[in-house]
């Protein structure tokens, strides 16, 4: 039992090849099933991992001013009032927003930067620190540059203000967003310039980002700010974590449904297989016994056969899922995560992040079951008399 019996292994391989059609069918179904389950888990773990990283880059508390139920400009006075609260260790008035470029029918994300203020996003902070942009220029991401070039803007861009006048902004340079697709279509420019484009007054901004040194205070401070500005929308980091968690629970429900259906199908196949062997297979076992094989040897050969098929299919399924999710970026299944304004699968880079507990779960649910489903009926036949089986 300790060593692999290569004669039996060869026999098992021969058996698989002899029953080509049946085994190809089993391998196909098995592979597709493992691939489907792995795909689902790969997508969820990868997306939630990336979301966690994104949330880590967000400010601890975001305060957005509302008027008549609509988002409106926040002011410097609000920020000063917030900074007076103990526990808030810093913050800044952010100027950021979307600009609709009608000609190409896309939105640009305009982010106002201040060279002497700290941004919560480390990646953007790094870009701001390494490049020196003066007060009248902008930095654009590579995809924005190509969109602008399509509209024949290669050195500058004309932003149309609300009153119809133009603001001409030269392009100082471009930066690559690497795998951070949520930063696609980003334009960085000084706050003063952006205020001009968005028609904010000099003491106004789009929202306020706050930093908190002691995360224990996050909840308390959020409620305190809500009382201080009753009509403002206060979003803490915990809130956004919870929001995404709920979203994932919902999606996991859809996934769970798929998962159970797939497993159920698999069990039907197993049941069918376990229910009995064909007369041809029975006769083969009978002949083996007649020429002197022990029950042990028969089971050994059958074990090799089942293990060969199960492992081969499992590995194939795993590789297929890997290629589908991480190389092809999940063309159809990823759309399960499409939520308007919340999550867009296109903004996720689906980096390789695999939780092996899930892979182990799929492995344990499929491979041992399949081996058992092959062994049990063979054992039932092998324990019978050889002539009884062949008759």
Partner 1 sequence: MQIFQLLLPLLFVCNLFAYPNYSDAIKVKKIYPMGERIYQKRCHTINVKQYKEYNTLLEAIQKGVCKELSPRYQEALALYLWDHKDQKLTRKHYPSLSVNHTQKCPVCGMFLYKYPRWVSMIEYKNGKKFYFDGLKDMFKYYFEHPQNIKGMFTRDYYTQETIAVRDAYLVLGSNVYGPMGNEFIAFSTQKSAQHFLFDHKAKKIVRLNDITKKMVYKLDE
- Residues near partner 1 (CB under 8 A) are 79-80, 83-84, 86-92, 115-118, 192, 213-214, 216-217, 220, 224
Return the number of the residue (73 or 128) whose C-beta is nearest partner 1. Answer: 128
Is residue 372 within 8 A of residue 288, CB to CB? The reply is: no
Q: How far is CA 10 from CA 145, 311, 320, in A?
A: 61, 16, 27
Return the number of the residue (86 or 280) whose C-beta is nearest partner 1. Answer: 86
Instruction: Please give the angle made by the CA atoms of 25, 309 and 362, to the nearest 5 degrees.
Output: 95
Report in angstroms how near the CB of residue 83 gets to partner 1 at its nearest: 5
Return the number of the residue (91 or 317) whose C-beta is nearest partner 1. Answer: 91
Report in angstroms how near the CB of residue 91 gets to partner 1 at its nearest: 7
Return the number of the residue (189 or 301) whose C-beta is nearest partner 1. Answer: 189
Residues 6+ apart with CB under 8 A from 168: 156, 157, 158
Element (H, E) at 169: strand 166-175
**What is the rounded distance in angstroms from the CA atom of residue 54 to the CA atom of residue 96?**
18
Report in angstroms how near the CB of residue 18 gets to partner 1 at its nearest: 58
**What is the rounded distance in angstroms from the CA atom of residue 328 to the CA atom of residue 350?**
10
Instruction: Scan for tokens 């589908």, then name that residue.
Output: 324
Residues 6+ apart with CB under 8 A from 152: none
Report in angstroms how near the CB of residue 49 gets to partner 1 at its nearest: 23
Give the 3-state secondary structure of residue 162.
coil
Report in angstroms how near the CB of residue 213 gets to partner 1 at its nearest: 4
Report in angstroms how near the CB of residue 192 gets to partner 1 at its nearest: 8
Q: Bridge-partner residues for 156, per DSSP?
A: 170
Is residue 254 within 8 A of residue 336, CB to CB? The reply is: yes
Return the number of the residue (19 or 224) whose C-beta is nearest partner 1. Answer: 224
Instruction: Scan for tokens 């182990």, then name that residue.
Output: 360
Report in angstroms how near the CB of residue 245 gets to partner 1 at its nearest: 22
**What is the rounded distance in angstroms from the CA atom of residue 367 to the CA atom of residue 361?**
10
Nearest residue to 82 via CA among 175, 209, 251, 199: 209
**What is the rounded distance in angstroms from the CA atom of residue 42 to the CA atom of residue 330?**
10
Report in angstroms how near the CB of residue 234 gets to partner 1 at its nearest: 16
Report in angstroms how near the CB of residue 257 gets to partner 1 at its nearest: 38
Q: Is 1 exposed, middle or buried (0-12, 13-18, 19+ CB in 10 A)?
A: exposed
Return the number of the residue (71 or 87) whose C-beta is nearest partner 1. Answer: 87
Return the number of the residue (43 or 133) whose C-beta is nearest partner 1. Answer: 133
Return the number of the residue (83 or 172) whose C-beta is nearest partner 1. Answer: 83
Return the number of the residue (130 or 275) whose C-beta is nearest partner 1. Answer: 130
**What is the rounded distance in angstroms from the CA atom of residue 317 to the CA atom of residue 335?**
21
Bridge-based pairing state of the strands 70-71 and 138-141? unpaired
Instruction: Scan for tokens 């029953």, then name that residue.
Output: 19
């Amino acid at each position: 039992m300790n060593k692999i019996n290569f004669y039996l292994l060869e026999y098992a391989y021969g058996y698989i090849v002899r029953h080509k059609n049946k085994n190809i069918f089993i391998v196909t179904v098995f592979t597709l099933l493992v691939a489907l389950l792995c795909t689902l888990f790969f997508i969820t773990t990868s997306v939630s991992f990336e979301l966690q990283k994104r949330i880590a880059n967000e400010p601890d508390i975001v305060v957005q001013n509302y008027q008549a139920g609509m988002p409106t400009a926040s002011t410097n006075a609000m920020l000063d009032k917030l900074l007076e609260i103990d526990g808030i260790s810093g913050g800044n008035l952010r100027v950021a927003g979307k600009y609709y470029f009608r000609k190409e029918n896309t939105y640009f994300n305009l982010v106002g930067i201040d060279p002497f203020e700290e941004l919560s996003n480390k990646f953007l902070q790094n870009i701001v620190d390494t490049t020196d942009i003066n007060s009248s220029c902008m930095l654009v991401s590579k995809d924005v540059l190509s969109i602008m070039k399509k509209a024949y803007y290669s050195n500058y861009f004309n932003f149309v203000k609300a009153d119809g006048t133009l603001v001409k902004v030269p392009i100082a340079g471009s930066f690559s967003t690497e795998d951070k697709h949520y930063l696609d279509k980003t334009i960085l420019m000084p706050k003063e310039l952006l205020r001009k484009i968005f028609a904010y007054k000099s003491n106004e901004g789009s929202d306020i980002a706050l930093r908190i040194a002691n995360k224990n205070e996050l909840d308390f401070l959020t409620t305190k700010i809500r009382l201080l500005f009753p009509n403002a929308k206060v979003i803490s980091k915990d809130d956004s974590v919870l929001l995404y968690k709920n979203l994932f629970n919902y999606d996991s429900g859809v996934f769970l449904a798929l998962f159970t259906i797939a497993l159920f199908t698999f069990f039907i196949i197993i049941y069918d297989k376990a229910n009995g062997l064909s007369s041809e297979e029975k006769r083969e076992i009978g002949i083996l016994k007649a020429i002197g094989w022990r029950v042990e040897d028969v089971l050994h050969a059958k074990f090799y056969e089942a293990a060969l098929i199960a492992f081969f299919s499992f590995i194939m399924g795993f590789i297929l899922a890997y290629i589908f999710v991480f190389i092809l970026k999940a063309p159809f299944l990823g759309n399960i995560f499409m939520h308007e304004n919340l999550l867009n699968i296109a903004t996720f880079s689906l980096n390789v992040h695999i939780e092996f507990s899930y892979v182990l779960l799929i492995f344990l649910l499929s491979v041992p079951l399949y081996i058992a489903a092959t062994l049990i009926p063979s054992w039932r036949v092998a324990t019978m008399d050889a002539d009884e089986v062949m008759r």
